[in-house]
A and B are shown apart, each in its own frame.
Chain A
Amino acid sequence: MAQAEDAVQPLLQQFQQLFFISKIAGILPQDLEKFRSRNLLEKSRNGMIYMLSTLILYVVLYNILIYSFGEEDRSLKASQSTLTFVIGLFLTYIGLIMMVSDQLTALRNQGRIGELYERIRLVDERLYKEGCVMDNSTIGRRIRIMLIMTVIFELSILVSTYVKLVDYSQWMSLLWIVSAIPTFINTLDKIWFAVSLYALKERFEAINATLEELVDTHEKHKLWLRGNQEVPPPLDSSQPPQYDSNLEYLYKELGGMDIGSIGKSSVSGSGKNKVAPVAHSMNSFGEAIDAASRKPPPPPLATNMVHESELGNAAKVEEKLNNLCQVHDEICEIGKALNELWSYPILSLMAYGFLIFTAQLYFLYCATQYQSIPSLFRSAKNPFITVIVLSYTSGKCVYLIYLSWKTSQASKRTGISLHKCGVVADDNLLYEIVNHLSLKLLNHSVDFSACGFFTLDMETLYGVSGGITSYLIILIQFNLAAQQAKEAIQTFNSLNDTAGLVGAATDMDNISSTLRDFVTTTMTPAV
């Protein structure tokens, strides 16, 4: 136990920079010193006060921003349709709502987040005991990449908008910097979620890899056994000939596939649904696998020790499989807890993503038609900045959805890997164990959802993109119709004005009656 504790590095070690930045930005209330020294997330009263004060500061600043930049909007309200105005108002505040929900949730969860990482550490220890060591360094790299990406995106949006579209002669324009705060804070918060999720996914994959490794060692063990017994390959031809000829084509197919699938699955664990080929080629076509995996020819003396397969001993392997299954369940539970902690922020992020994406595109359309748009969405005036904003917003949402989807996929793949074990060992007792455990695995569900309203998977992504498209079409159609109606009325009114003027003129001068005739005849059809 103590040895495992030493060997397993806590996941939070990789979070140092992220925690420091989040602490300064006021996203997490936990104690900084304790985190530095012991990698623990603990409640802290000072942190809470600091966080609340930053929250209030941000809200006040943002409102000042809206107020000071809203002067243009006030003239806009008169000219614009009420719906656009109301939607605009809602859109300006959704960012703030998102930020506030993030911070309040972090406050509410401050005790539980630490627990979560503690549970992950325990899982790591158990995994270590089963012989798979988690490497957390990739996570540290990931965090750094995400942080850099965030800063690049935020800065490029902020600077380009400021330079191109904000009147920076006034000092009040510096307030524009505040407009980046909500998205920045939200992204930092989501990096926590994404990285933790990624860590869970890695753990699922580690379990899968361990199972596949068992399969591999057993295969090698079998080969080695066969090598030891000096069984000549022609022994297989002693099988009934009709069986052989019937399956000749299959044998060829599978033999061809095996070279790829075995090599791949042992390295990256990405060979999906290739249970059958491996199994059959092993059990019925021993010589096929001989031919296929000849490239690493096992030196008989050295493999004497190495190829002692665990799968041969059902009683021993049962313990291991049982433990792996329990760890799998524990990771699923952690995943659920993680999802629950971040359920409201994710819901608000998704709402934000949907609204902002639609709005940005709609306002881009409006800007190309030289219509006025709310001042906070001035980035839509420039297509290039719009592209950056859109990719930033959608990147956040899509990455989270993608990662959730991938994680639940990885958790479901464990069953496949488990069955590979059963198939390779080809042992009745082991089969029973595998069947029992795979039934259990089937019931370990980890589905990520936003408050139960919708699950985070590719289907939802598809639905959301469909929703954005249809809303855009509706909005643009109505915008077009309103524009046409306005133009028609304007021409009608101007025509009336001219007609009225001309009519007044006729009283004085009869000559102009011809002009009036001319005007009415030429312009009436235009109406």
Chain B
Amino acid sequence: MSPNTWVIEMPTQKTRSHPYPRRISPYRPPVLNRDAFSRDAPPMPARNHDHPVFEDIRTILSVLKASGLMPIYEQVSDYEVGPPTKTNEFYSFFVRGVVHALTIFNVYSLFTPISAQLFFSYRETDNVNQWIELLLCILTYTLTVFVCAHNTTSMLRIMNEILQLDEEVRRQFGANLSQNFGFLVKFLVGITACQAYIIVLKIYAVQGEITPTSYILLAFYGIQNGLTATYIVFASALLRIVYIRFHFINQLLNGYTYGQQHRRKEGGARARRQRGDVNPNVNPALMEHFPEDSLFIYRMHNKLLRIYKGINDCCNLILVSFLGYSFYTVTTNCYNLFVQITGKGMVSPNILQWCFAWLCLHVSLLALLSRSCGLTTTEANATSQILARVYAKSKEYQNIIDKFLTKSIKQEVQFTAYGFFAIDNSTLFKIFSAVTTYLVILIQFKQLEDSKVEDPVPEQT
């Protein structure tokens, strides 16, 4: 982060009425948030409902709403969402019911010969693998639906908390915390394309006429996979939202660190000459803002931590099952890929593409998830580190700093998968090293099998 990201903001009409008249946003508008100040405070109070909450992640929210994973909430005001209306609630309920019915139908057809035509392969183990993969997928999705249905209220609460926080930030700083969530749409498109591609590949791979049941099976399989992936992307987006908030308060705090203060003293005169029109008396008064700002920051930090915990609680189980599922998928697909490439016989392009599509999907999802978790965790932990760099002369300020630092000593911020393990970059590393180990073992076994099968053959002929 570039050090001098300070901007002095003219108090808007709304902020002027507020007890703390002068506030400084740590963001410089053109660089850091592109549309943070474009739609700024003043016109807001007039029209209430045309500014939808969570506009950045609207696309993914609508997908999740349509599939019954998210409640179709009502927007009470700009900074509050209400519980869904009866009709909408019934709709979500209905969708979830349909999903469960389909799941039961799927499981039933999996255990009966109806689906046999989908499971054809060269070897018996491949079939078993696909079976397990399918079952894991069904399990993950069913779990997702159940957990989502169960957590409807807490999800709404988290959203409300985030909105309240935004409101407070806006009231105090006039900053609209939003970021470019373009990656969400990209991921959505990618997931859809991948799933469609996989289904098409599967259809081409099936010999003979495809029965309608198989079509339903396949389509539902694709939808399940897609929605699970979408949910993971949604979780990452939520984490990213929290990350932005953490980042905001860290930037705010960063202005008080000794490095910045030192630079301010040196460059103060020059800066005033450069932007003399902008409120010249702000700079010297900076440190005096510290008590107010620190109070605000501590409160924000606490709230954010609670939100972070809440998000973690909401998608705990889903994450565990998803990680297990994608670990299994990545391993089997790598294995299949290896077998295909090194196999003596024909290389089937169909299976190659199938494996590649799966690998791309899951690896990118894993990377996204672990990266968002890692980023947010580091940012949350960075607050105390930044605060440690604030050197205040007076005892009072020192006490403020000490209080927060003492509080955060034992406050380990982590995003865990149901407490089994923490999710961050090292998780990615662990998963891939585990995949490698399994691959080596599996491939060795396969070669052993091959060498035993191969050599008796010439003897028979």
Contacts and interface: CB of A to CB of B under 8 A. Distances in A.
A30 to B, nearest CB: 23
Contacts of A325: 391
Contact of A452 (B342, B385, B424, B459): B424
Interface string B419-461: 0000011101100010001001101100110011001100100
Interface in A431-466: 432, 435-436, 439-445, 451-454
Chain B CB count within 10 A is highest, among A326, A439, A475, for A439
Contact of A326 (B258, B342, B384, B459): B258
Contact of A454 (B387, B426, B440): B426
A445 B433 CA distance: 27
Interface stretch (B173-181, B198-206, B274-282, B398-406): B398-406
B388 interface: yes
A436 B451 CA distance: 69
A443 B444 contact: no
Chain A CB count within 10 A is highest, among B388, B440, B441, B443, for B388
Interface string A232-274: 0000000000000000000000000000000000000000000
B425 A435 contact: no
Interface string B375-405: 0000000001101110100010010011001
29 contacts: A81-B447, A81-B451, A83-B444, A322-B391, A326-B258, A326-B391, A329-B388, A435-B402, A439-B388, A439-B402, A439-B406, A443-B384, A443-B405, A444-B385, A445-B385, A452-B424, A453-B428, A454-B426, A454-B429, A471-B437, A474-B441, A475-B444, A478-B444, A478-B448, A482-B448, A482-B451, A485-B452, A486-B451, A493-B455
Interface residues of B, number: 36
A496 interface: yes
Contacts of A486: 451
B31 interface: no
A360 B444 CA distance: 19
A470 B384 CA distance: 40
**Interface residues of A: mostly helix, strand, loop or mixed?**
helix
Chain B CB count within 10 A is highest, among A325, A432, A436, for A436
A470 B434 CA distance: 13
A489 interface: yes
A337 interface: no
Closest 9 CB pairs of A and B: A443-B388, A453-B429, A452-B425, A440-B388, A478-B444, A82-B342, A439-B405, A489-B455, A443-B385
A86 interface: yes
Nearest to B395: A432
Contacts of B338: 86
Given A326-B258, A493-B459, A436 B398 contact: yes
B266 to A, nearest CB: 13
A481 interface: yes
B455 A451 contact: no
Nearest to A479: B444
A326 to B, nearest CB: 6
B384 A436 contact: no
B451 A444 contact: no
A497 B355 CA distance: 43
A453 B425 contact: yes
A451 B395 CA distance: 39
Contacts of B255: none
Contacts of B26: none
Contacts of A471: 437, 440
A440 B447 CA distance: 58
B346 to A, nearest CB: 16
Contacts of B384: 443
A201 B342 CA distance: 49
Given A452-B374, A471-B437, 14 more contacts: A326-B391, A435-B402, A436-B398, A439-B388, A439-B406, A444-B388, A451-B425, A452-B426, A453-B428, A467-B433, A478-B444, A478-B448, A492-B455, A496-B459
Interface residues of A, number: 36
B409 interface: yes
**Interface residues of B: mostly helix, strand, loop or mixed?**
helix
B447 A83 contact: yes
B447 A442 contact: no
A454 B440 CA distance: 22
Contacts of A432: 395
Contacts of A482: 447-448, 451
A188 to B, nearest CB: 27
Given A453-B428, A489-B455, A442 B342 contact: no
A88 to B, nearest CB: 13
A474 B455 contact: no
A517 to B, nearest CB: 21
Contacts of B459: 492-493, 496
A140 to B, nearest CB: 31
Given A452-B374, A474-B444, A478-B444, A442 B455 contact: no
A467 B406 CA distance: 38
B435 to A, nearest CB: 14
Contacts of B424: 452
Nearest to A85: B342
A482 B445 CA distance: 10
Nearest to B433: A467
Interface string B178-194: 00000000000000000
A470 B433 CA distance: 13
B405 A440 contact: yes
B448 A453 contact: no
Interface string B345-389: 000000000000000000000000000001000000000110111
B439 to A, nearest CB: 10
A82 B426 CA distance: 31
Contacts of A452: 374, 424-426
Interface in A321-339: 322, 325-326, 329
B3 to A, nearest CB: 11
Contacts of A435: 402
B132 to A, nearest CB: 23
A453 B426 contact: yes
B340 to A, nearest CB: 12
Interface string B251-295: 000000010000000000000000000000000000000000000
Interface string A372-410: 000000000000000000000000000000000000000
Contacts of A481: 448
Nearest to A443: B388
A98 B456 CA distance: 44
Contacts of B258: 326
A481 B451 CA distance: 10
Contacts of B405: 439-440, 442-443
Contacts of A493: 455, 459
Nearest to A435: B402
Interface string B133-177: 000000000000000000000000000000000000000000000
A328 to B, nearest CB: 10
Given A322-B391, A471-B440, A485-B452, A82 B385 contact: no
